[in-house]
């Protein structure tokens, strides 16, 4: 009902004895995790109405106009398209690198090949999903972070990693590489242990500065939650700093106090994966169901 881009509604009523059911359909489907509307004040002038061309601002604070032909397709394409380098700090080269390194790392963890500082190696994962890159998550990150943020945000529907690059003058690609290496090294240098559970004590360990102890693990956890099926990132240069933000999703459950992934032998056939997913035997990963 409240989606900003919707312009049409159609309803029907069915009667069953003393009961009446009302059904209403709207012209644009709402994607899971999508922004319903941009927060802010209602329009005051026609110039405030930018969703569709030639729209007029009404006294109600709503914009009234007729969408251009093909607006449904354009709206869907907009949600799937990646932002510009100027907008997101991302290029296709950086996106390809981030997706590739994430999946290689998930594969290594799933096959029990990653060393754990508090154990031997990571336990094998039974149904680790291979990530795809989602440009929509870039847009969510931009909206959530705003103009400049030096703190990790909590977008509710996604898991969030953030890294402050050591040298803001380095290229965005090198900044992305440094960020991922820092997140990966959390399991190699700090460790999680054989329980494979993200506990409250492990969470607070990152904030313990006693004897200069700083051993975070949350970024590693977000990288290898087995039900995550997508990743999207942005890189921001602001206040003489460079920040790398990556979102993972969807956030179907909280990680705290739960197994990060289902432990077991990696898949050898598609029936080992969930639903109609395919087993990628050499990678030890499943495609998204």
What domains does the chain contain, in order, with CATH numbers?
Answer: 9-79 (no CATH), 84-286 (3.40.33.10)
CA distance 44 to 285: 52
pLDDT for 150 equals 64
pLDDT digits (tens, 9 = 90+) for 24-81: 777 666 655 556 776 678 898 888 887 788 888 988 888 887 777 765 555 555 556 7
* Paired residues of 202 in beta bridges: none
CA distance 286 to 277: 6
Question: Is residue 161 classed as helix, strand or coil in its secondary structure?
Answer: strand
* Position with higher pLDDT, 184 vs 35: 184
CA distance 236 to 228: 24
Mean pLDDT lowest among 29-38, 49-58, 120-129, 177-186: 29-38
Record the pTM.
Answer: 0.75
CA distance 70 to 200: 50
Do the beta carbons of residue 280 and residue 140 sit within 8 Å? Answer: no
What is the percent of the chain with per-residue pLDDT over 90, rounded to a whole number? 46
Phi, then psi, of 282 in degrees rounded to 5: -65, -30
Distances (CA, A) of 53 to 7, 50, 66, 71, 84: 13, 7, 8, 11, 22
Rounded (5°) CA angle 254-192-151:
55
Phi, then psi, of 101 in degrees rounded to 5: -70, -35
Bridge-based pairing state of the strands 241-249 and 285-286: unpaired
pLDDT band of 101, cuts 50, 70, 90? very high
């Amino acid at each position: 009902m409240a989606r900003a881009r919707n312009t049409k509604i159609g309803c029907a009523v069915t009667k069953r004895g003393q009961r009446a059911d009302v059904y209403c359909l709207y012209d644009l489907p709402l994607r899971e995790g999508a922004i319903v509307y941009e927060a802010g004040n209602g329009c005051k002038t026609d110039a405030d109405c930018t969703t569709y061309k030639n729209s007029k601002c009404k006294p109600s604070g709503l914009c009234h106009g007729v969408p251009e032909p093909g607006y449904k397709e354009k709206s869907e394409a907009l949600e799937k398209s990646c932002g510009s380098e100027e907008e997101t700090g991302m290029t296709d080269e950086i996106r390809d690198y981030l997706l590739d390194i994430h999946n290689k790392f998930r594969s290594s963890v799933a096959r029990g090949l990653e060393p754990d500082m508090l154990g031997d190696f990571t336990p094998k994962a039974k149904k680790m999903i291979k990530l795809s890159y989602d440009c929509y998550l870039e847009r969510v990150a931009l909206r959530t972070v705003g103009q400049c943020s030096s703190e990790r945000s909590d977008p509710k529907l996604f898991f969030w990693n953030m890294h402050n690059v050591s040298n803001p003058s380095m290229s965005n690609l090198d900044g992305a590489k440094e960020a991922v290496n820092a997140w990966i090294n959390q399991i190699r240098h700090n460790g999680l242990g054989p329980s494979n559970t993200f506990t409250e004590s492990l969470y607070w360990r990152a904030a313990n500065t006693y004897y200069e102890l700083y051993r975070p693990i949350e970024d590693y956890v977000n990288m290898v939650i087995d039900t995550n099926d997508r990743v999207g990132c942005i890189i921001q240069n602001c206040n003489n700093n460079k920040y790398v933000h990556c979102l993972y999703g969807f956030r179907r459950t909280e990680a705290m106090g739960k197994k990060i992934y289902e432990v077991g032998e990696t898949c050898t056939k598609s029936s080992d994966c969930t639903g109609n997913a395919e087993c990628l035997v050499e990678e030890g990963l499943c495609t998204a169901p």
